[in-house]
Chains A and B, each alone.
Chain A
Amino acid sequence: MNQPVLEAKDLRISFRTPAGLVRAVRDVSFSLYPGETLAIVGESGSGKSVTCKAAMGILPGNAVIEGGEILVDGKDLLHLPERDFCRLRGRKIAMVFQDPLSSLNPIMRVGKQLTEVMRLSGVPAAEAKKRAISLLSEVGISEPERRYRQYPFELSGGMRQRIVIAIALAADPEILICDEPTTALDVTIQAQILELLSRLKKERSLSMIFITHDLGVVANIADRIAVMYAGKLVEEGTAQEVFYTPAHPYTWALLSSMPDLDTRDRLDAIPGTPPNMVAPPQGDAFADRNPYALAIDFEAQPPAFPITETHWAATWLLDPRAPRQEMPRALQERIARMKARREAQAHGN
């Protein structure tokens, strides 16, 4: 593969809290290649948002960067002075947040928020307005001239999220980080926003990091998937590898715990709750909730075992000395069922 546009290496971030140092991100490494969508999947508290905020240079004040680097164009973003970061933010790398209502300024017209970035980079006002209106139509907003003069509260949730996307694109970034951009939206609006993001990605050859916990959304948008649990990446692979041949028990649990349209049996809920990250467990952080845990899982962190050239998982189950463990039956059945559904559909067309 070609040179990555963004590369995180051994990223370690903690938060100072009254309860002690919370280890939010623990030795996370990944690469984002040009033109691809990398989905980072995990629950709240798994460290996925923190990782991306670090890449945007917008970590809260109590965050401590303990180590690692995030490389973009050979520059380490973690140690970039704020002055230089300002030149990168928006132009090289931009972010779309989860809640469009709280990421827009309620007392500023849409147009002003859109042109802010352009004006700052010295585009004349008339030119900025022209570009903003064409951006609005690019993200699928009807009557862009009217919307330009409106306030966020006058728009629907889906339209607001389109505006947020337009603002993110205003300075023509190469990398777009989307933090749960559809979680607050209805299914039909969610589908529209996903279609919009896919189209924009193609037209503008963006590279995208997509953070979410919704596996349906991931299946829709991701080229590659990284699964995150308790501050660590536990599995990474292409979308098809992670969905059809998942290897980490946490990925299994995640995939089989939610019902799909054909589920009838009792759900395989993951017992317990994620560990307290003030004192992360010594071994595999998922061991406590993992029905397939081996004795060694409680003692030592599993290394990343390669499965194919693009697929790896950090679980002792992949060690050659470990007993062979099939993925749960419910999951095997779903994969087979979805395959049958696909084939039936291909037949029908």
Chain B
Amino acid sequence: MATEPLLRVEHLCQYFGPLHAVDDVSFSIAPGEVFGLVGESGCGKTTTGRSIIRLYDITDGSIWFKGQRIAAGTLGYRRRIAEARRRMRGASAEERAALSAQIAEERRQLRAAVHDHRSVRKDVITRIQMIYQDPIASLDPRMTVYDIIAEGLRIRGQHDKQAIDSRVYGILDRVGLTREHAHRYPHEFSGGQRQRIGVARAVVMDPEMIIADEPVSALDVSIQAQVINLLSDLRREMGLTVLFIAHDLSVVKYFSDRIGVMYFGRLVELAPADELFLHPLHPYTRALLSAIPLPDPLYERDRRRIVYEPRPEAEDAALREITGGHFVRCGAAEVPGYLREAEA
């Protein structure tokens, strides 16, 4: 990519005890791009989004936003230091010197990671805003719509009543609600309207990036399209960069420029949206795409579903580029095979 990415996720690991929810996930998102993340429930796509806005302290890896490290994990450094210490025992003098130099270096980086992670300024993080899946659970039932939307502005230090008023009313109008709605409570609204409130709360902060976690899957069909249209209008007008997390592949395909497919905490394939649907390479992606039901009875009658049988991963499995911009998680030995398939 020619331009500097807005967001760069490097080897992100998020472990919850023995559960490796996200394991070594790397990707970057260019300014103005919509990056879709798909996968089954439990594959770690939501955790990835939540780790990026620091709802969790990440276990390992780094997250860079606008060239600044906004989150860093330490597990890798600590492991390498412990490993080097073990090797110190019974090593020759020269090796010991090399190892202690290595330990010092790892320690320095660890300190830098901890420093970066702790000292991130709030005003950088709030440039990323999140839209949640459940429009009921994500709005405080005891706050008025006005307070829900204004909360972020107030926390940011905005106390001028008039300025807040004009921002809130402006945003309400922008997302298709009216001024009169401002002093009502969330339960007075329909699902689609509640999701609009969630969108308003995110965009009122004037973010550069939005993480939309299944923003339409809790909504009715006729309302889903309204919210999708609203998001794509806002994206265009505000020049937003979006991380779009969803399990509905048709919606993700429609909305995204590039798509990453996750399976069991790992990113198994990453490609431009059209390319991914045209030439899915990883067997899991193929199975996933073949399961999408399409609105056509005759097509459905003859549909052949591919069943995914997980195979053990190659020892050196990593995300490798097969053709331009199309990555698959595989071992080095598997690359030629994928390349043949991609060109077939």
On A, residues with C-beta under 8 Å from B are 43-44, 157, 186-191, 194-195, 213-220, 222, 239-240, 243, 253-255, 257-261, 263-264, 266-271, 273-274, 334-335, 338, 341-342, 345-346
Contacts and interface: CB of A to CB of B under 8 A. Distances in A.
Interface string B229-247: 1001000000000000001
B56 interface: no
Contact of B221 (A213, A263, A338): A213
Contacts of B291: 187-188, 190-191
B295 A243 contact: yes
The 6 A-B pairs at the shortest CB distance, nearest first, are namely A216-B293, A259-B254, A269-B225, A257-B225, A270-B222, A191-B291
B66 interface: no
A259 B294 contact: no
Contacts of B249: 187, 261
Q: Which of the listed residues A43, A243, A258, A263 has the most CB atoms from chain B within 10 Å of its own CB?
A: A258
Contact of B299 (A194, A219, A255, A268): A219
Interface size class of B (residues with CB under 8 A): 35 or more
B221 A190 contact: no
A248 to B, nearest CB: 14
A215 B226 contact: no
Contact of A342 (B253, B295, B299, B308): B299
Contacts of A44: 220
A346 B299 CA distance: 10
B229 to A, nearest CB: 5
Given A258-B251, A263-B250, A267-B225, 14 more contacts: A43-B220, A188-B287, A188-B288, A190-B291, A215-B221, A219-B296, A220-B293, A220-B297, A243-B297, A260-B294, A268-B225, A269-B228, A334-B295, A345-B302
Contacts of B288: 187-188
A195 B302 CA distance: 12
Nearest to B293: A216
A interface secondary structure, majority: helix
Nearest to A242: B297
Contact of A270 (B40, B226, B293): B226
Given A188-B288, A254-B222, A239 B297 contact: yes
B274 to A, nearest CB: 10
Contacts, number: 127
Q: Which of the listed residues B40, B229, B253, B299 has the most CB atoms from chain A within 10 Å of its own CB?
A: B299
A338 B251 CA distance: 17
B36 to A, nearest CB: 12
Nearest to B221: A213
Interface string B270-312: 0000000100000000011001111111111011010010000
A67 B220 CA distance: 29
B186 interface: no
A219 B297 contact: yes
A234 B89 CA distance: 80
B84 interface: no
Contacts of B247: 186-187
B221 A43 contact: yes
Contact of B296 (A222, A271, A338): A338
Interface of B: 40-41, 190, 192-193, 220-226, 228-229, 232, 247, 249-251, 253-254, 277, 287-288, 291-300, 302-303, 305, 308
A195 B299 CA distance: 15
B294 A219 contact: yes
Nearest to A187: B291
A254 B277 CA distance: 24
A258 B302 CA distance: 22
A198 to B, nearest CB: 10
Given A187-B247, A187-B288, A266-B229, A258 B297 contact: no
Given A44-B220, A187-B291, A213-B220, A258 B299 contact: no
A263 B248 CA distance: 14
Contact of A338 (B40, B287, B294): B294
Nearest to B248: A187
A189 B291 CA distance: 9
Contact of B293 (A43, A214, A254, A257): A214
Nearest to A335: B296
B221 A257 contact: yes
Contact of B226 (A213, A240, A269, A335): A269
B222 A186 contact: no
28 contacts: A186-B247, A187-B292, A188-B291, A188-B308, A190-B293, A191-B305, A195-B305, A216-B295, A219-B297, A220-B297, A222-B297, A239-B297, A243-B295, A243-B296, A243-B297, A254-B221, A255-B295, A257-B222, A258-B251, A259-B250, A259-B251, A260-B294, A261-B277, A261-B294, A266-B229, A269-B228, A342-B298, A345-B302
B201 to A, nearest CB: 21
B297 A240 contact: yes
Contact of B253 (A213, A261, A334, A345): A261
Contacts of A243: 295-297
Given A186-B41, A260-B250, A191 B293 contact: yes
Contacts of A334: 295
A88 to B, nearest CB: 32
A306 B84 CA distance: 81
A195 B290 CA distance: 13
A240 B302 contact: no
A217 B293 contact: yes
Nearest to B193: A273
A166 to B, nearest CB: 21
A220 B298 CA distance: 9
Contacts of B277: 261
A190 B224 CA distance: 20
B192 to A, nearest CB: 7
A261 B292 contact: yes
B250 A253 contact: no
A208 to B, nearest CB: 15
A277 B298 CA distance: 36
